[in-house]
Homo-oligomer: A and B are copies of this chain.
Amino acid sequence: MLAYGELLAFDRMAADARLAPDLPRRAVLSEMAGVEIANYRRLASRLAELGADPQDAMRAFVAPLDAYHDQTEPRDYLEALTKAYVGDGIADDFFREVAALLDAPDRELVLDVLHDSRYDDFAADEIRKAIGADPKVANRLSMWARRLVGEGLSQAQQVAAERVALATLIVSGSADEGAVRDLLKRLTNAHTVRMAAVGLNN
């Protein structure tokens, strides 16, 4: 799921880079995409090492992840940045939670792939600056962020329903049946903090 997520994030981020207002910013978005495809390579190599065909392993996640991105195509540069900051933020938190349930070396691989926050800082700065220059932007981007979360949750439920192995891993990795509720609470809290940090309303 993460491998296809990275391959697809590369594709969408590379396209979103065209929305940037100048060449240096376009280059930063392109470099963000470049990180995703490098991550994809590491995950695909590990899948192959484990004897899995990466294409087969990714197949089940193509439809829901494509659907998420099709439903959340940014119309401008700030929507693209908000998507990277808010959408990828939640996804990364989720994958970190799942990674904690894996054994080494896969746990370390997933955490390592997710750890790069350089570009989050860039996105957060840009969003903050845009809101500073025009406070009305906060409303528009807050609505956009809610849509991102809604679409993300909808596709996540689809994945959980269809991918019993993943759902089982999450449920069985926890001591009691409140664990999934706790996981959702942690994801939601982190999301709220992230939104507030750039001046967006949950």
Query: Footprint of B on A, CB under 8 Å?
Result: 4, 7, 10-11, 14-15, 17-18, 22-24, 26-27, 30-31, 33-34, 37-38, 40-41, 44, 54-55, 58, 62
Contact = CB atoms under 8 A, between A and B. Distances in A.
Majority secondary structure of chain A interface residues (helix, strand, loop or mixed)? helix
Given A24-B55, A55-B24, A58-B23, A30 B11 contact: yes
A142 to B, nearest CB: 30
Nearest to A44: B27
A31 B15 CA distance: 15
A63 to B, nearest CB: 13
Contacts of A55: 22-24
A24 B11 CA distance: 14
Contact of A41 (B10, B14, B31, B37): B31
Contacts of A27: 7, 37, 40-41, 44, 54
B7 A11 contact: no
A146 to B, nearest CB: 29
Given A11-B18, A23-B58, A40 B44 contact: no
